[in-house]
Amino acid sequence: MKYLVTGAAGFLGSNLCARLLAEGHQVIGLDNLHSGRQVNVDWLASMSGFTFVRHDVIEPFDIACDVLCNLACPASPPHYQEEPVNTAKTAVIGTLHALENAARHNAVLLQASTSEIYGDPLVHPQPETYWGNVNTLGPRACYDEGKRMGETLCSDFTRLGKVDARIIRIFNTYGPRMRGDDGRVVTNFIVQSLSGKPLTISGDGSQTRSFCYVDDLIEGLLRVIALGSNPGPVNLGNPVEFTMLELAAEVQRLTGSRLPLVRMPLPADDPKQRKPDISKAERILGWRPKVELSEGLSRTIDYFRRQA
């Protein structure tokens, strides 16, 4: 099959492209290299069946494909807050252009949405039926609301019979080919430890996240595409919950760091708890993450050590 992957030079995009190429598909990667990295494109270009197109999804595009995986959008808080208007345009206008391209070529569209659409949740764990608790005026709203609007567009195109647009809500994924400066807690802790610096903890460290290794996430994503019909939004993430203090302790154990933790203020609108209800994914996909946190962190730490 011919896949078009927007955001192909990013962390998730490059891992997805590699998996598709390994399965023998033809892959066209689209990226403007704003937050994606050239090294990821170079790595993919060494594999048979990959074509790269440098393009910003805010501008229309017309590329034939059987499946369009729309992953284009800065996803780390420091990056998307640095240029909030561009983030919102990428999430909304970029998704509109992806849907229009899929409609022209009768392609299935896979929309990479996010757990951020749930905001700072008042329901725990978060099922797909939960509508969320988002501050529309806060510094994270450009991404949160942009992704929520992206889901609306996908739902409307599907309802109107224009595109079979399938939505996955991704929870805290990590693994090789993450950017060391992306500002996410896993990369922060690993880079700080490997650089001989103390780990910085926001708040008291009791806030929780659920960390899903990238290979598990991509397996779930492909199972959503393979379904015979559109299942509606599907949470993809690891339901095992860790506090930031527990995560820090595990990174320190694996890297041999002995430096004391440094406390920092909590960022604005930072969710206190984040844990997916994956009962729908288990039921319709037969999917559940397999990689334990210690194993996934070890693989990710090895990747960053090789980059040093």
- Return the CATH number at 300: 3.90.25.10
User: How does the average pLDDT of the chain come out, rounded?
Assistant: 95
- List C-alpha distances in Å: 162 to 39, 100, 103, 308: 36, 9, 6, 47
Q: Is residue 221's pLDDT more than 80? A: yes
Q: How many domains does the chain fold into?
A: 2
Tokens of 8: 């192909």
284 inside domain: no
pLDDT digits (tens, 9 = 90+) for 83-120: 999 999 999 999 999 999 999 999 999 999 999 999 99
Per-residue confidence band for 271, with pLDDT thresholds at 50, 70 and 90 = confident
Residue 23, Cα to own-chain centre: how many angstroms? 21
Arithmetic mean of pLDDT, 119-134? 94
Task: Tell whether 168 and 266 lie within a shared domain.
Answer: no
Task: Tell whether 87 and 231 lie within a shared domain.
Answer: yes
Task: Tell whether 245 and 225 lie within a shared domain.
Answer: no
Task: Tell whether 223 and 80 lie within a shared domain.
Answer: yes
95 inside domain: yes
Task: Tell whether 202 and 89 lie within a shared domain.
Answer: no
Task: Tell whether 88 and 16 lie within a shared domain.
Answer: yes
Per-residue confidence band for 237, with pLDDT thresholds at 50, 70 and 90 = very high
Task: Tell whether 146 and 189 lie within a shared domain.
Answer: no
pTM of the full predicted structure?
A: 0.95
> How far is it, in rounded angstroms, from Cα 266 to Cα 200?
11
Task: Tell whether 200 and 246 lie within a shared domain.
Answer: yes
Kindly list the catalytic residues: 143
Task: Tell whether 169 and 251 lie within a shared domain.
Answer: no
| Structural domain span for residue 302 | 185-208+240-275+291-307
Share of the chain above pLDDT 70, in %: 100
282 inside domain: no
Which pLDDT belongs to residue 305?
Answer: 95
Task: Tell whether 168 and 245 lie within a shared domain.
Answer: no
Does residue 116 contact residue 80 with C-beta atoms inside 8 Å?
no
Which pLDDT belongs to residue 126?
Answer: 95
Give the end-to-end CA distance of the chain in Å, rounded to a whole number: 37
Give me the CATH number covering residue 227: 3.40.50.720
Which pLDDT belongs to residue 210?
Answer: 92
- Strands 208-209 and 242-243, bridge-based pairing: antiparallel
pLDDT digits (tens, 9 = 90+) for 26-79: 999 999 999 999 999 999 998 999 999 999 999 999 999 999 999 999 887 887
DSSP string, 75-110: -SHHHHHHSHHHHHHHHHHHHHHHHHHHHHTT-EEE
Task: Tell whether 150 and 33 lie within a shared domain.
Answer: yes
Task: Tell whether 145 and 254 lie within a shared domain.
Answer: no
